[in-house]
Structure 1
Amino acid sequence: MAYKSGSSITLSMSLVSLFTLFVLSIESTNGFTVDLIHPDSPLNPFRDPSKTRFESIIEASNHSHSRAAAGASKFKTPTKASQGGYVMKYSIGTPPFETYGFIDTGSDLTWTQCKSCEVCFDQSLPMFDPTKSQTYVAPPCNSAACKLTAGDSQTCTDRNTCEYKVSYNDYSASTGDVATDVVSFGDGATFKDVVFGCGHENSGDFSKDTSGIVGLGLGPSSIVQQLAQSIGGKFAYCFSSDPNGWSHISFGPEAAVKEVYTVVTPFSREGDDFYWVTLNSVSVYGEDAKKVVKFSGGSTQRKGNIIIDSGTTLTYLPGDMYKTLESEVKDAIPLTPVDPMSPFKLCYNSASTFKVPNIVANFAGGDVFIKDGAFVKVTEGVVCLTLVPAEDDNYTYGNMGQLNYIVGYDLGANTVSFTPSDCSKN
């Protein structure tokens, strides 16, 4: 959910290779899996019990909408991790300090709030104190670690340490020290000298259920790029449609799932650090006919026209395309829509008996049925379509369209894959 701003920098493969030598798994492993928690799940130890499921959905969708609406004509700044994403537990330092971060394929740098925090957002869980870690290092400005984060509006301090700053579409921001430390995931997957941001000035409407972001983007500072040698450039997540259940993320060769029904689509590395794929059209299967709505809009200068994003809730389409899609969905549902709840555009009374039409995303490489996330219940008795029009050209395929799929990323093959699955069981 991140749209990167500032001057981006392309590091040579020699620099990336040099740095990955410092990131070595302490334990030899074929990969590792970590449980994910949805913020409004009862399994989340920091959730607000007074908030209903419906309130969380509306809040997540409005956050998603404000991120898209604030974007300019180009993808410039990373959107922040907020409600509607999925939280991963991990540990930093020696001894290990447990914390939680939102996984985000649209962000690169992983960062967490740190003591002493000059300006901080409200955080339910304890805050990382770098002075308590025996392995914490703030590397000098000419170090490989600092060069790795050079695209994040980096400056050199009078202490000869480097400082990062990331800004977000909704004017949230994080500023702090570029640091390295031991980072652990799951049961014993431990890596040393991982570069991350130790945030001391963090402003904006961040969720209190997390300490920051776990960056899974294509940029050199992301976790998947830093651990590329150890995980083979592969990771996959599976988001359950059941808010009361667990979801999962896996790193390593075992994350590559290839079944008969797996759809594989290429992503482009041109221009920025996002997973740009090509969406050819969206199909609506009514009772008697299949209607195909072709993709319209997007840059002619870039391969790919829509970003796959784990941290954005809704799917944002070109306005003209959405109008046609909405018309086809209305034709397929023999009911009168009700007044929509913002930011949704098409809603129905769910007390009425009607069959939800199959809606299919037709990617280059195959078709992905939006089987469990095409409509969402936003309040008692009302369901709404989770595909909405983008206000600019910030076209994004959000996580509601990814429910109950193993979504796999192969950085070596430059592909994203979709494999149908019951994510609450896998």
Structure 2
Amino acid sequence: MDQSLPALLLVVLVVLLFLHLHLPTGIASSAFNSTTASSANHGNTIPDDHHSDNSQHLNVKEIMANTKIISQPQELLETHQETSDRKWKLKLLHRDKITAASLHHNFHDRFLELMKRDVSRFTSLIRRLTINRTSSTSDDPYHHEVLEENFGSDVVSGMDQGSGEYFVRIGVGSPPTSQYMVIDSGSDIVWVQCQPCNKCYRQSDPVFDPADSGSFAGVSCSSAVCDRLEKAGCRGGRCRYEVSYGDGSYTKGTLALETLTFGKTVIRNVAIGCGHTNQGMFVGAAGLLGLGGGSMSFVGQLGGEAGGAFSYCLVSRGTETSGSLEFGRGAMPMGAAWVPLIRNPRAPSFYYVGLSGLGVGGVRVPIPEEMFRLTELGYGGVVMDTGTAVTRLPTMAYEAFRDAYIEQTRNLPRATGVPIFDACYDLSGFVSVRVPTVSFYFSGGPILTLPAKNILIPVNEGGTFCFAFAPSSSGLSIIGNIQQEGIQITFDGANGFVGFGPDVC
């Protein structure tokens, strides 16, 4: 036997090991470290805290290829929808897919616009929560705005939906007129721009005309539906609504009952705002589909028809695929890991969750759990939000979290920070890099480990990636849609739980 054969085999093994360590591999999927649990029995979710690997691959080349693709505006056609006796499903599109404005900017410009919208939304959210905790006074800017315009009162939404990052397509009226609608898990009002339009922003579809709908019915001031608004105005015997936001966006008009159509599913007598005067950063969408926790949101109005449940998968921005939004208990997945929702009576629209800590590379960052706790006065806490892009954390928690990540990525070349990020990397010379995992530790034990692409995101076409988290000067934390992308998320408001997984999308 040739004595050189064992040596040759050893060389081959070494080469194969080298290739395995250095060639790019697929991006690791997000995973909730929990054993399977029945969606009908939230309390039996059993976490598995063992990590087989505390790092994962970030496919730099693939992600950078997507930054160079500028999607054509979405054709104004019906999106694919599936219906059954237990659920109804429709496509979920990112804002850039249907707004022609995206054709006129490169990736970096679109990123800067996103950050501008996101800062505006976050600032308004903080301001609105502060207003919700205090009674109106003569110094309240919203109070002055209403008086100057001779309008009785305003309806305050849970969040500023100005960023409008994810849209669905539904039918409004009878016969149904197809409209793109922003989804907002922090708003309790469903509204569309309406003719006659005293002031309207640009939208992709023709503005809805109630005169063409056989099912449109105005709501009287004495109606029980009008009473369900937090505050309502009245003019000419008709119930009036107004939703104002801290960034100057608003919608005003008449409250009405109307039919909404989701594929073959028809929902009658939905209370919607018919907005005759509108302004804001909703460009592309006809209005908003509020999915918040209050009684006037779309989910709240459905009641028993959907069992207080809905599920969504947010598609990653920059890709040519679409996500999904489903209503009904039939949409609740088997095998999800369930986390209790926390109710804040001072902000009933918001979906709060109990976050106990953060992890980097499988190691828990030393942050006091109290930093994420919702107080009895309604301060602090952690909100799940579809409209905020970047996850915000209290400054002290963010800095400890960021420093732990930087410590475990010392092998990666750093880059200059960009708005609003201060931990960035130059990955222009890489095909794939190995990065530490990032995890959310939820109260009760479950741990959500994020996909690598939800942690480091590209901010330009030159290969600069940034740690997609930011500090909050307030005590409020927000889990944004960048961190939610690609993860199946289910809200069971009726029973007070939010589920993660088990599928990725």
- Provide the TM-score with structure 2 as the length reference: 0.72
The alignment partner of 1:389 has SS state of strand
Q: Percent identity?
A: 28
What's the counterpart of residue 124 of structure 1? 204
2:404 corresponding residue in structure 1? 328
Q: Is residue 198 of structure 1 aligned with residue 305 of structure 2?
A: no
Is 1:161 aligned to residue 241 of structure 2?
Answer: no
**CA distance in structure 1 between the partners assigned to 2:482 and 2:308 by the alignment:** 25
How far apart in 1 are the matches of 2:221 and 2:199? 24
Q: How many angstroms apart in 2 are the aligned matches of 1:358 and 1:84?
A: 29
Alignment partner, residue 104 of structure 2:
50
Is the Cα–Cα contact under 8 Å of residues 217 and 257 in structure 2 kept in the other structure?
A: yes
Question: What are the superposed Cα offsets for residues 194-253 of structure 1, whole Å, 9 maximum, x if unpaired?
Answer: 10101111123x232101211000111100011121111111001122631010011112
Q: 1:390 to 1:303 in 2, by over 3 A?
A: closer
- Structure 2 counterpart of 1:33: 89
Amino acid at match of 1:361: F
SS at match of 1:356: strand
Other structure's SS at 2:415 match:
coil
Residue aligned with 2:404, SS: helix
Q: Distance in 2 between matches of 1:28 and 1:246?
A: 20
Give the number of aligned pairs.
386
Matched, 1:212 2:287: yes
After TM superposition, the structure 1 stretch with the greater mean CA deviation from structure 2, 104-113 or 268-277, is 268-277
Q: Distance in 1 between matches of 2:316 and 2:367?
A: 26
Task: Identify which range, 337-346 or 63-72, moves more after superposition.
Answer: 63-72
Structural mapping, 1:70-89, within 5 Å = 70=124, 71-72=126-127, 74=130, 76=132, 78-83=158-163, 85-89=165-169
Change (3 A) 1:164 1:232: same
The residue number in structure 1 matching 2:499 is 417
Report deviation, 1:163.
0.6
Distance 2:414 2:342 in 1: 38
CA displacement at 1:171 relative to structure 2: 2.2
Contact 2:197-2:276 within 8 A present in 1 as well: yes
Of 62-71 and 168-177, more deviation after overlay is shown by 62-71
1:112 corresponds to: 192
Structure 1 position 127, deviation (Å): 0.5
Where 1:276 maps in the other structure, the secondary structure is strand
| Secondary structure, aligned partner of 1:345 | coil
Deviations 1:122-155 (A, max 9, x none): 223210011111110111111122122x21x311
Measured in 2, the distance between the counterparts of 1:228 and 1:376 equals 38
Indicate if the aligned counterparts of 1:276 and 1:308 stay in contact, CA closer than 8 A. Answer: yes
From the superposition, tell whether residues 46 and 146 of structure 1 become closer, same or farther in structure 2 (CA, over 3 Å).
Answer: farther
> How large is the Cα RMSD of the aligned pairs?
2.2
Q: Indicate the residue corresponding to 2:308 in structure 1.
A: 233
Match of 2:392 among 298, 316, 323: 316
Q: Which amino acid is 1:116 matched to? A: P
8 A contact 1:310–1:398 mirrored in 2 = yes
The answer to whether residue 444 in structure 2 is matched with residue 349 in structure 1 is no
Per the TM alignment, residue 292 of structure 1 is displaced from its structure 2 partner at its CA by 4.7
**Does the 8 Å contact 1:125/1:211 carry over to 2?**
yes
Q: Indicate if the aligned counterparts of 2:120 and 2:247 stay in contact, CA closer than 8 A.
A: yes
Give the structure with the higher percent helix.
Answer: 2
Counterpart selection for 2:441 from 344, 350, 362: 362
The change in CA–CA distance for 1:265 and 1:370 in structure 2 (over 3 A counts) is: same
Contact 2:171–2:177 under 8 Å retained in 1: yes
Cα deviation per residue 1:88-126 (whole Å; 9 max; x = unaligned)? Answer: 101111111110111110000111111111122222321
Contact 1:54 1:378 in 2 (8 A): yes
Contact 1:68 1:390 (C-alpha < 8 Å) held by counterparts: no
Mapped to 1, the partners of 2:472 and 2:253 lie a distance apart of 32
Q: Is the partner of 2:95 in helix, strand or coil?
A: coil
Structure 1 unmatched ranges of 5 or more: 1-26
Q: Which moved more, 1:138-147 or 1:276-285?
A: 138-147
Sort the Cα spacing of 1:396 and 1:291 in 2 relative to 1 into closer, same or farther, 3 A: closer
CA contact (8 A) 2:241 2:255 kept: yes
